[in-house]
Structure 1
């Protein structure tokens, strides 16, 4: 049985808007590191000719992120959060420097896994923000911090594409390393001290993940749905640079990165969805986001032009992010003292889905080109919608 230590002093103080924004920006800075490689993939592969492994860098980075979610993020329930966040940022800086210096594909793969694992510091920040927020504003706070994360994800591609075109892919990682150190210093200076929420030991903490999964059906459906949606999301961004290199488009990393700026409009969904979830409840927003994601892939498939891609990106980001904020609103209310572990299961499942989607997209591209990728994305969105319909039927039957 868990020994809970109340942190009423922190909760009573609440979370100011400036602090929420700082946490959002720094979380976005952290998670951006796992996406820098996507618009630079062609350049990275050309540095290691004859090795198909270089093309798997986005996949192994996401797998590293999933590994960090399961092994590192649960520590947020047993270690003082500010110290843990600062340490992870410094580890991230080291991993980025190794990536920049990588002399071989093998070292590049190992470093990419380490970057992914240490970048999960972003997911230490989210439950900490929720912990500090009053319950009636929890959805809005989650939405704001996630908007920062989503902004980091999207702008990372634009920044990486620009730097890669100007100087090369290694220079991007050399730039990212000191930015991670700045993130560590910012969090050290601004975050309040916190007390652990439980006195479970580390192995007990990991074992409790299974219990949480079995105890909460809402957690299972949220994780499954978001994993499938993120697979569809990752499928698009993984092959976008490859699509734009084709003669019909003849675009490079910088142009591929610009699509990240287009997607910024989609992050407006995060705070809006959070506020609606606070007022009306989150379940209907999850279903709406899933339907919008499905429609985005239909647009990609039937309108494979630059305007069509732009329209599809807006829909894809809006749909996936709306569902994400609402699903996190659902899971954080299940067991407050286990928020870091609930986040581990949810985001870990999501990024395993993302890694799977990236790998499937690469195969679909090699087999069927853009039509194959569009078909894959459509099927994934349909599966997510089917999961939500099933969850709705179960909730309805229990309410009778």
Structure 2
């Protein structure tokens, strides 16, 4: 196998960023889309929820295919189908075709996770965490810059231009990856599609690391979605009344999360995955304190966004790095099971946040986010390996005696 070079990793990161951005373009445009397609404000969260539902189905139905078929052909095919879905969204004249198109966009955005799993397979074991962190940095940047790009383009040419632009990018990406992706057929331990899908659920029963890390993903991405799905609402209302382009710029603040992603991968390579997870989950909980003052202080909002994105991406990369050390022949299915919980958390967080905001305002949204974050921290602490619990207990005993 060829050495997985830094330039190849960067190409994977760029492709991942462009693909995952399709799931997040809509977030700063919810008000504009709702007005154009006659969706009431209290129901705007359904746009994000349906996109995430499509993504969840893609994780279950499409992502495992990477353990069965040639990944180069699979990736290019999914990108070309994504072009068609994006054009459907851009041309949709009414709510129903739009929602069908946006669900399909979410379904096909799982090509991002196929690329991440492919990168982990091609990387040497000693640097797998670093490579996963680098590629995931591209995912983080794609998520964050999507809001900036979509907000700016929407102000210039309308929200539909965002999806025409993305369709062109997907077509270009498909062409480049077809030419440069290395040929690497998977090690087939399963030969039929039904067996493949069934094995995803079997992995949950067989691998405790997958169960724990998937539930942690549920909590962190529910918290992530609580912030980013509802933030457009107070920022577009008085006293700020920001346009979509300015709201989209807030995504740039979270670029620190990309830096955290790369660093977390290196720490996971050195065996510090549990410690990194605990610290990051604590930061996630703390982030809701400054976010609670967001309607009165942009400085507090910025500080909260940095903390939240940094924490979530550090946990996410650590989760993936730990999963990629087991079952190399099942990496796509492992990621499918893990990311399924990511998607469920994101979808539920979106609809809960917009509903809570409509009923009780921004402070209630922040309380919701803090409760979810605290639940994630508590779950992590309760599922620590026994050796870690014993070490903590011994340290406490020595300190108490002294």
* Fold-level similarity (TM above 0.5): yes
Counterparts of 2:293 and 2:47 in 1: how far apart (Å)?
Answer: 29
Write out per-residue CA displacement over residues 243-281 of structure 1, whole angstroms, 9 at most, x where no aligned residue: 101212111211110011111122100111111111233
Name stretches of at least 5 consecutive residues in structure 1 with no aligned partner. Answer: 1-9
Partner of 1:177: 167
| CA displacement at 1:38 relative to structure 2 | 0.5
Partner of 1:44: 33
Structure 1's 105 and 55: CA in aligned 2 closer, same or farther, altered over 3 A?
Answer: farther
Structure 1's 57 and 74: CA in aligned 2 closer, same or farther, altered over 3 A?
Answer: same
| CA displacement at 1:234 relative to structure 2 | 0.7
Partner of 1:301: 292
Partner of 1:164: 154
| CA displacement at 1:91 relative to structure 2 | 0.6
Partner of 1:243: 234
| CA displacement at 1:50 relative to structure 2 | 5.5
Of the three residues 251, 257, 270, the one matched with 1:266 is 257
Counterparts of 2:294 and 2:157 in 1: how far apart (Å)?
Answer: 34
Conserved? CA contact 1:230–1:353, under 8 Å: yes
Write out per-residue CA displacement over residues 51-78 of structure 1, whole angstroms, 9 at most, x where no aligned residue: 5655411111111111101100000000
Q: Pairwise mapping of residues 92-241 of structure 1 onto structure 2 (< 5 A)? A: 92-200=82-190, 201-241=192-232
Comparing 317-326 and 47-56, the one that deviates more: 47-56
Conserved? CA contact 2:44–2:354, under 8 Å: no
Q: Please give the TM-score of this superposition, normalised by the length of structure 1.
A: 0.94
Of the three residues 20, 26, 34, the one matched with 2:23 is 34
Partner of 1:3: none
Structure 1's 170 and 50: CA in aligned 2 closer, same or farther, altered over 3 A?
Answer: closer
Partner of 2:350: 358
Q: Pairwise mapping of residues 281-292 of structure 1 onto structure 2 (< 5 A)? A: 281-292=272-283
Partner of 1:310: 302
| CA displacement at 1:197 relative to structure 2 | 2.0
| CA displacement at 1:383 relative to structure 2 | 0.4
Name stretches of at least 5 consecutive residues in structure 2 with no aligned partner. Answer: 394-402
Of the three residues 374, 379, 383, the one matched with 1:387 is 379
Counterparts of 1:223 and 1:380 in 2: how far apart (Å)?
Answer: 15
Conserved? CA contact 1:74–1:206, under 8 Å: yes
| CA displacement at 1:184 relative to structure 2 | 0.6
Partner of 1:19: 8
Conserved? CA contact 2:256–2:306, under 8 Å: yes
Partner of 1:378: 370
Structure 1's 253 and 385: CA in aligned 2 closer, same or farther, altered over 3 A?
Answer: same
Counterparts of 1:36 and 1:180 in 2: how far apart (Å)?
Answer: 14
Partner of 1:278: 269
Q: Please give the TM-score of this superposition, normalised by the length of structure 2.
A: 0.94
Counterparts of 2:203 and 2:244 in 1: how far apart (Å)?
Answer: 42
Counterparts of 2:39 and 2:95 in 1: how far apart (Å)?
Answer: 11
Partner of 1:6: none
Counterparts of 1:274 and 1:183 in 2: how far apart (Å)?
Answer: 26
Partner of 1:59: 49
Conserved? CA contact 1:285–1:322, under 8 Å: yes
Runs of 4+ in 1 over 3 A off after TM superposition: 50-55, 393-400
Conserved? CA contact 1:45–1:55, under 8 Å: no
Counterparts of 1:154 and 1:79 in 2: how far apart (Å)?
Answer: 31
Counterparts of 1:208 and 1:199 in 2: how far apart (Å)?
Answer: 11
Conserved? CA contact 1:267–1:318, under 8 Å: yes
Matched position secondary structure for 1:40? helix
Write out per-residue CA displacement over residues 312-368 of structure 1, whole angstroms, 9 at most, x where no aligned residue: 110011000000010111111121110000000111111111111111101111111
Counterparts of 2:60 and 2:141 in 1: how far apart (Å)?
Answer: 24
Comparing 243-252 and 135-144, the one that deviates more: 243-252
